[in-house]
Amino acid sequence: MAPSVPRTRAAAAIRMKQIALDNQSRMIRRLRTQLATARREADAIKEEHKANQIALEASHKVIAGLTEIGLSISKKIERMKAKEQKARESHMVCHQKFQARIQEAEDSMQAQHLIIEALVEEKDGLLQTIQANGAPDPFDDEWEEEPEEQPEEEEIEDIPLGEGEIDDE
């Protein structure tokens, strides 16, 4: 029996080594499968990272564009406000000039009215002097004074400053 024991022992050892090799082969295949899966996952993550990076860059460009548009609109609003202020100031100046012209016209009309009254008084005085001296009335036959049709004077109203202005709303 002695000779078969070593063979059996050697066969058992070989069998044990074969089982160990088989186990290692299975483990290597499993690890290779896991490695391949991990590589595919890593590739997918890299692709996703690239897509996210591209989306992020596009987002930054959009934000920069919107910021530029916002600044442009702000500048336009400021220019419009300045233009509106100039229009208000111009309106105010025109209003003041118009009121000054109206006042000048009223003053001129009042002065003309005073001159007419003075001329009428002077005429009446001359007529009285002529009549006092016994001379005939120079205007009796030649000219009859027609009553002047004086239209009712329309008062020129002051234009309120607030009319015609643009509302801020």
What SS3 string covers 77-115?
HHHHHHHHHHHHHHHHHHHHHHHHHHHHHHHHHHHHHHH
- The pLDDT of residue 131: 84
pLDDT, tens digit (0-9, with 9 covering 90-100), for 88-135: 999 999 999 999 999 999 999 999 999 999 999 999 998 888 888 877
pLDDT of 143 over the 60 cut: no
- The pLDDT of residue 130: 85
- The pLDDT of residue 99: 96
The mean pLDDT value for 56-64 works out to 96
In the structure, what pLDDT confidence band is assigned to residue 1 with cuts at 50, 70 and 90?
Answer: very low
- Report pTM: 0.43
